[in-house]
Structure 1
Amino acid sequence: MSTRSKQNVVIVGAGYAGLNAWLSLSNKLDVKKHNLVLINPRPYFTHFPAALRMATTAEGKLEDKILMPLIDSKYNTGNKKLIIASVTSIVEQGNEGGHLVLDNGEKVEYSILILATGMGWDGPLALPDTKAEAVGVVTSWREKFAQANDIVLVGGGSIGLELAGEIKDLSSTKNVTIVHSQSQLLNGTYPNSWRTYVGKQFASRGVKLVLGDYVDDLEIREGRIKTRSSKSIKADLVVPTRGGRPNTKFIESLGDVVSPSGTVRVTPTLHIVGHPRIFVAGDIIEWKEQKQAAKAPNHALVVVHNTLVLLGLSKKAAIPYKGSSELIIITNGKNGGAGFFDILWGISIGNWLSSLLKSKSLLVDMTQKSLQFA
């Protein structure tokens, strides 16, 4: 896609950050001067906070609610263009932009580029690019969880914990073991006292915790797996539930801008260091904060404002990203959970309020409305 009469503002990634930026820019760009191009490998948006429940049960038909289609009537109209493809490289051309090379051979010019490619996942969160294939994978996981009796989850962060809660909702008699590398669940962002509370809450449902240990080989042998410390655990299903990997491989084409962990080095104004026309938002930014969908609107606000400044559509100064408060709610099935809000003296919440705020609804309706799918 090449346009000489108009400048292309290109967003790569239709996740929480990318769609928040798209929604804001769609109302603020000059339609006579600018195109708004959205590139995503999938023709749908995934509401990941509900994906673990979707993978364990057919109840509620969540696949029809959280795999939200990117429809042409909204994203392919007027000065807006949706391209279903993956980016393989970025080619800069002077100080006025450059072009993207796609996996289908197409080249897409950009004046401003916003990268919001999110994370790649293992286990039940690893969904294919077509919705039909994604539903097939979900159905397969449901069958695995239904048939398994001794399930080992490798990773005791939010994914492992929330999946454990969903499995216990599926059947309280299933044996669930979480193996986590740290001496307490989650990570040091949160107070040890609260992490201990979370552990006790899940243990009260019969979830076994193996802390300070690793599983290097996920293959089951003779009905068991072994940890790095040679602990033997009975298993008929092993599920990787570690954190995600930043989808940033193609960004390495810009040079030394990607950290060893895969995140992208950014300035306070959220453009890539040394590349003032390329902004980054969402989970892939190198920033000392937890990777959460709730932070995406704050990233998008900064990126959109600074894009408008760069395009000459705003006379205000560029603004920095100042970080976001650390807030987390871990679901424990539909009726339980634990939360911690790093405000004031640090506020923690238990089952009832966690269920009210997140566990029952998984924020599905709220997300549909905020991203204008409903």
Structure 2
Amino acid sequence: MSKQNVVVLGGGGSGAHIARALSAKLDQSRFNLVLVTLADRYVHMPALVRLTVDTPDTKYLEENALISYDHLFIGGKGTVKVGKVVSIDRDEGQSSGVLKLEDGDTVPYAFLVVATGSKWEGPLSELNVSNTEGFKASLKAWRDKFAKANDIVIVGAGPVGLELSGELRDTYPSKNITIVHNQELPLSDIYPDKLRKGIVKGWAARNIQFVFSDSIEGDLADGATTVTTRNGKTITADVLVSARGGRPNTELLQRLGSDVLDENGRARIDQYLRLANFTNIFVAGDITNYKEVKQVAKYPGHVSVITSNILSLTNGGQPKSAYKGTFEAVLLSNGKASGIGYLGKLWGLMFGKTLVVMAKSKDLFVSRTRGLLGA
């Protein structure tokens, strides 16, 4: 009897870790483990914002935050297929199916994990560059753009926009930096006002300006030196950066049924993190419709549940591990020497720059992540 495939689609903050966890325990005599990924390396997302700005850490991060898949599988028990998947198909009358790639290749699956992440705008959109050298070149283009600018406008005061502004301020003490956000305070109202007001205070202390309850649509026109907000405010701008947050990358799931996605384009899941109405397709990371802020720090919980359930199914059992979520928390770097944090336990715990710098800002969890991925 030929071996079947357990396939993980997406090699990011949830997919790569699921592939590694499965490699430790999957019965290799009966199953092949395959990671299918668009890019030829893992990108450690918390470090990506700093990589778009020219800092003393640029060389270190290029060497360490872009992580090869060479040692991802424990004992080498798995293979990596780099390519763009254009469709997920099911075999007629069967639960198994096949991934079809742009180059014409196919990858059959008996069990599938879809962890395709988010689609980003601005500097984070460079994640779509498939080869590492091209990716580095794209990041350098952003560094050069920021270096030449005097007035930088960032659209979105979520974690990406806030941390980008802090990195820019570290490198460029005198440039004008403005963040335009469509709410009354930074982040979203899932977080308490004491955190959001603390962000305003901490970022304003570094001469980072905010424009709240407003937005900017589109890009900076060629040759333009100003942008106009929805409310009619004119802001001087050499560079306009979209940091509006990611959108779920779920187009591939659409052909599996009209009811697999919710109204926000996220994958409907059951308690076992399986795609709704499917027994052998699991969903992880940003694309699930589980009600939680999408953060890579939460995805070890996804990894544990999905790995346990796939192992049970491959051994003839039923899924037993249910995903129950966790509390909300956030650590925001404001450059390397400042930041703010929040832990949604007890009465809501706030953290100042000392803890945030120690925990995150200096290394951005790069060393820890490399260890977790066997690098």
Question: Aligned partners of 2:97 and 2:149: how far apart in 1?
Answer: 51
- Aligned match for 2:36, one of 15, 30, 39: 39
Equivalent residues in 2 for 1:129-278, closer than 5 Å? 129-220=130-221, 222-256=224-258, 257-278=260-281
Cα deviation code 1:201-238 (max 9, x no counterpart): 10111011000001013224641100000100011111
* 1:120–1:245 contact (8 Å) kept in structure 2: yes
- What does the per-residue CA deviation read over 1:161-209, in whole Å, with 9 as the maximum and x for residues that have no partner? 0000001001111110000001110001100121011111101110110
TM-score by length of 1: 0.95
Contact 2:24 2:74 in 1 (8 A): no
C-alpha distance after superposition, 1:108-129 (max 9, x if no partner) = 1111000111112111112211
Matched, 1:332 2:334: yes
Cα shift readout 1:323-367 (whole Å, capped 9, x = no counterpart): 122110010000000000001111011111111110111111111
Tell me what 2:89 maps to: 91
Moved more, 146-155 or 73-82: 73-82
CA RMSD of aligned residues (A): 1.6
Structure 2 partner of 1:70: 69
Q: How far off its partner does 1:78 sit?
A: 6.2
Residue type at the aligned position of 1:230: G
What amino acid sits opposite 1:46 in the alignment?
Answer: V
1:288 paired to 2:291: yes
Equivalence for 1:13: 10
User: Secondary structure in 2 aligned to 1:270?
Assistant: coil
2:25 match: secondary structure: coil
Per the normalisation by structure 2, the TM-score is 0.94
Q: Are 1:82 and 2:85 matched, yes or no?
A: no
Is the 1:158–1:330 contact (alpha carbons within 8 Å) kept by the matching residues of 2?
A: yes
Residue identity in the other structure for 1:129: S
Match of 1:120 in 2: 119
Structure 1 position 87, deviation (Å) = 1.5
Question: Alpha carbons of 1:78 and 1:49: their partners in 2 closer, same or farther (altered >3 Å)?
Answer: closer
Letter in 2 for 1:45: Y
Structure 1 residue 77, shift from structure 2 partner: 8.0
Counterpart residue type for residue 69 of structure 2: L
Q: Does 1:49 align with 2:49?
A: no
Q: Which amino acid aligns with 1:227?
A: T
2:19 alignment partner, SS class = helix
Task: Please report how far the alpha carbon of residue 63 of structure 1 lies from its aligned counterpart in structure 2 after TM superposition.
Answer: 1.3
Letter in 1 for 2:42: F
Question: Per the alignment, in what secondary structure is the counterpart of residue 335 of structure 2?
Answer: coil
Partner AA of 1:327 in structure 2: A
Structure 2 residues without counterparts, runs of 5 or longer:
none
Q: How many residues are paired up?
A: 368
Mapped to 2, the partners of 1:301 and 1:112 lie a distance apart of 16
Distance 1:329 1:363, change over 3 A: same
Cα distance between partner residues in 2 of 1:259 and 1:214: 26
